A = this chain, B = another copy of it.
Amino acid sequence: MGTMGTKTLDRDLRSERNGTFGPYVTNGKHDEIAGPRQRPVVTMRGVPLERRDTVRIGFAGIGSRGLYLLRDLLAVDGAAILAVCDGSAEAAERARQRVVEEGQPEPAVYSGEDAFLELCRRDDLDLIYVATPWDQHTPMAVTAMEHGKHVAVEVPAATTLDECWQLVDTSERTRRHCILLENCCYGYNELLVLSMVQAGRFGQITHGEAAYIHDLRKELMADSGGGYWRRQTHLSQNGNLYSTHGLGPVARYMDIHRGDRFTLLVSMSSREASLSAYRDRTTGEGDPKRRERYICGDMNTTLLRTELGRTVVLQHDVVTPRPYDRVNLIAGTQGIFRDYPARIFLDGTDGTDGTDGIERDLNAHAEWESLDAYKETYEHPLWRRVGDLARKLGGHGGMDFLMSYRLIECFREGIAPDIDVYDAAAWSAPGPLSELSVERGSMPVTFPDFTRGHWE
């Protein structure tokens, strides 16, 4: 890495490429568009949060997602919501009511054009939650950090490569953490499997698979709100539009940025067909949506390779009629786990460790096992401690609560957050990188080292 050039390719620089054989270089020291940021930087990897018993939080973005996230956050001991904020006064008021209903003191309420800036200017906040539309995540996270606040941002953290670097640069310069609110990392199965990986039950990890496969056709046809702005990406981008839910957990299994890192990405999209077919079936001739041209392929498949030679298959499909699937697969020299539904195979557990040739009855092959047998030993401590409460609250099966619970716990223990700015950047980057590879006819693209070498 770094020997083939130092260009950072973002939307504006896409036509550039290194002139010699090899993948497109998107890595390097970021010197061309970030000269002023070239002074020596100190990593934020492993930097502990200031210890606090009560974390004073400002909450920005009260759409459907924000309101659920706020509800779960309000259930966490030590989380004090001092202020809420939304462009819409009505939405901000809904958040205020929610805070009061949950028995917390009346929060300050910010709405209107400068609402977020006003929130950030408060001097009594430790942390700001951001749950706005995708394209606002990076600007708001940057603003929050510039104002001395740690920030916890919804997924994806960034939608361009330049935004990924903005987050990293700002976090390092301001010494504030940018935490990705990747709830799927806190799912029951995800944390159980992480425990098993860490206990070596899968042997040496070689391969993982992850996806965001979720039939959102109905939502995407909305004329306003989340469905509306999510649909706009289908008009302008062809790649993986939503990478983190699948990739986050697998990156954790692979110790990405804790001993390994992504080095190469290549991506391929199928043609678009399902969203336009659904639109044509469900809207009238006069509907303005009939004039929209969706360029995002139904299925995007992206391959990633790591420094240690592991591979990840990462998929995105939100328009094909099929059951929900994040795949959540991890494989190593001693076994494999695959989710949806959860199933596991560990070497030797079926009394065999090898089979007797191609002529056997197919039914004699090794069989998947339920995950249940491993729950007693490997259930994650977080779920053991607060799983009952998480399940009662139930946001995405409890993972939303656990995510916020754990973040507040990191503050209360004065330790580094589980998911830092480097993870936020690396889990979001497959969005723009896949788009770049697809645009180039599935050319491989180097994966930036957002940690600047601090991944080992």
Chain A interface residues (CB < 8 Å from chain B): 17, 21-23, 64-65, 68, 203-204, 206-207, 214-219, 221, 226-227, 264, 266, 268-271, 273-274, 277-278, 297-299, 301, 303, 305, 308-311, 313, 317, 320-324, 331-336, 345-348, 353-359, 361-362, 365-368, 394-397, 441-444
Contact = CB atoms under 8 A, between A and B. Distances in A.
Nearest to A324: B365
Given A299-B206, A322-B335, A345-B322, A266 B362 contact: no
A155 to B, nearest CB: 11
A204 to B, nearest CB: 5
Nearest to A207: B299
Nearest to A67: B359
A33 B353 CA distance: 46
A186 to B, nearest CB: 14
Contacts of A396: 362
Contacts of A308: 271
Contact of A362 (B277, B324, B345, B355): B324
A336 B362 contact: no
Given A359-B68, A368-B323, A441 B354 contact: no
B357 A226 contact: yes
Chain A residues touching B, majority SS:
loop
Nearest to A302: B303
Contacts of A323: 345, 365-368
The 5 closest A-B pairs by CB, nearest first: A218-B354, A271-B309, A321-B347, A324-B365, A270-B311
Contact of A299 (B331, B365, B395): B331
14 contacts: A23-B441, A23-B442, A65-B358, A206-B270, A206-B298, A215-B366, A266-B268, A273-B332, A301-B303, A321-B353, A322-B345, A362-B397, A442-B444, A443-B444
B441 A264 contact: yes
A391 to B, nearest CB: 11
Contacts of A216: 354-355
Nearest to A204: B273
B346 A215 contact: no
